[in-house]
Amino acid sequence: MKFVKLAHGSGGEETGELLKELLFSKVPEELKKVPNGLGIDLPDDGAVIPLEKKNIVISTDSYTVNPPFFPGGNIGMLSAIGSINDVVVMGAKPIAGLDSIIVEEGFPLEDLKKIIDSLIEVFRNEGVALVGGDFKVMPKGALDRIVITTTVLGVAEKPIVDLPKQGDQLVLTDYVGDHGAVIMMLQMGLESAEEIKSGKLKSDAKPLTGLLPIIKKYSEHINACRDITRGGLGGVLNDWALNSESVLIIESELPIREQVKRYSEMLGIDAIYLASEGSALFSVNSDVSEDFVEDLRKHGFENARIIGEVKKSEKYKGYVLMKTAVGGFRIVEPPRGELVPRIC
């Protein structure tokens, strides 16, 4: 590995290998987290800093989506939503955020205004204080348009740590792959496709703060939760399989829109690896899973459903298996390569 490749930023196998070599293996164990907290000792959506009675959950992420404007949103709203959701899926109520914006010289001021306005609007609507940030300009050609980094802090009584347990049911809150499919189509020059022009297919980017009452109610029964961004559903499932026995999902239960399936197949990409920006996956105790799904639907997540389970398997330990629509089984491998560059 002599040079950095696009695939190293995909959130898949190559990302994990690079971080392990350059970062995780070099940071002393005592510096990977604060005492009794959670940090890069267990890579998750964010870190946990325990206080006397509460826990601070903090997440930071950089956004470099191409194009910066897309059906359903823009890089401004995406950067606010993404970091808010990273805190929410760890069981925390987001309370404060910071942003850092780097823009290329010559970027249209009107576009910059729209992007910043949409970022502020998301924070305002979600009751998250924008408490600080940074702004810089790079010479023309030194940066491709705009990059935004957001950091969000939240408060949790009991943070969710990604440790799925044998027998857990896997619950998905909504359709998957919408955001990734839209960005993929735009990058492939398919912005004139009927599904895009008519608005039938657009990014699913939305805050997941509506999950907080459900998370609080079932806090003793939730063993893992993750929003489905880079690497898609396939990436999250493979991460979880490494920390459990094996994972089995049912293809016929996967909520993927027909338009997403069609264009993914046409472009040679499996939709299970496409990013979502408004869907979460839970691993919950099986004895409450049906009630959990019903409560999700009552709280506005009408498409929530059980898609599989965590199973004990010596032969397939660490693997994700999919029961196909025709009754067979196949292995869902970890995402590799750069399927859709600069997706979020």
Would residue 12 count as lying in a domain?
no
- Judge if 197 and 97 occupy the same domain: no
Percent of the chain with pLDDT over 70: 100
- List, for residues 156-178, the tens digit of each pLDDT value: 999 999 899 999 999 999 999 99
- List, for residues 89-129, the tens digit of each pLDDT value: 999 999 999 999 999 999 999 999 999 999 999 999 999 99
- Judge if 302 and 174 occupy the same domain: yes
Residues 58, 151 contacting (CB under 8 angstroms): yes
- List, for residues 29-64, the tens digit of each pLDDT value: 999 999 989 898 887 778 999 998 899 999 999 999
- Judge if 83 and 210 occupy the same domain: no
Would residue 275 count as lying in a domain?
yes
Tracing tokens 């980094």 back to the chain, one arrives at 149
Q: How many folded domains does the chain comprise?
A: 2
Average pLDDT over residues 251-277: 93
Q: CA torsion 304→211→276→42, rounded to 10°?
A: -110
- Give the domain-ending residue among 98, 131, 156: 156
6 or 219, greater pLDDT: 219
pLDDT of residue 48: 96
Q: Domain containing 288 — which CATH number?
A: 3.90.650.10
- Give the domain-ending residue among 105, 135, 156: 156
- Judge if 218 and 327 occupy the same domain: yes
118: number of CA atoms within 13 Å, CB side?
21
Residues spanned by the domain of 110: 33-156
152 or 339, greater pLDDT: 152
- Judge if 135 and 215 occupy the same domain: no
Task: Count the helices and strands in the chain (H runs, E runs).
Answer: 9, 14
Residues 148, 76 contacting (CB under 8 angstroms): yes
- Judge if 257 and 123 occupy the same domain: no
- Judge if 180 and 325 occupy the same domain: yes
Q: Domain containing 91 — which CATH number?
A: 3.30.1330.10
| Number of other CB atoms surrounding residue 161 within 10 Å | 16
Measured in whole angstroms, the distance separating CA 77 from the mean position of its chain's CA atoms is 15
In this prediction the pTM is 0.94
Would residue 23 count as lying in a domain?
no
How many residues make up the chain in this entry? Answer: 344
Would residue 2 count as lying in a domain?
no
- Judge if 133 and 197 occupy the same domain: no
Q: What is the mean pLDDT of the chain?
A: 93
Tracing tokens 């995402």 back to the chain, one arrives at 335
Answer whether residue 10 shows pLDDT above 90: no
pLDDT-derived band at 302, boundaries 50, 70, 90: very high
- Judge if 199 and 293 occupy the same domain: yes
pLDDT of residue 134: 97
pLDDT-derived band at 81, boundaries 50, 70, 90: very high
Would residue 180 count as lying in a domain?
yes
- Give the domain-ending residue among 135, 156, 177: 156
Would residue 26 count as lying in a domain?
no
- Judge if 74 and 201 occupy the same domain: no
- Judge if 229 and 81 occupy the same domain: no
Answer whether residue 1 shows pLDDT above 70: no
pLDDT-derived band at 315, boundaries 50, 70, 90: confident
Average pLDDT over residues 285-302: 97
Would residue 7 count as lying in a domain?
no
- Judge if 148 and 174 occupy the same domain: no
pLDDT of residue 50: 96
Would residue 28 count as lying in a domain?
no
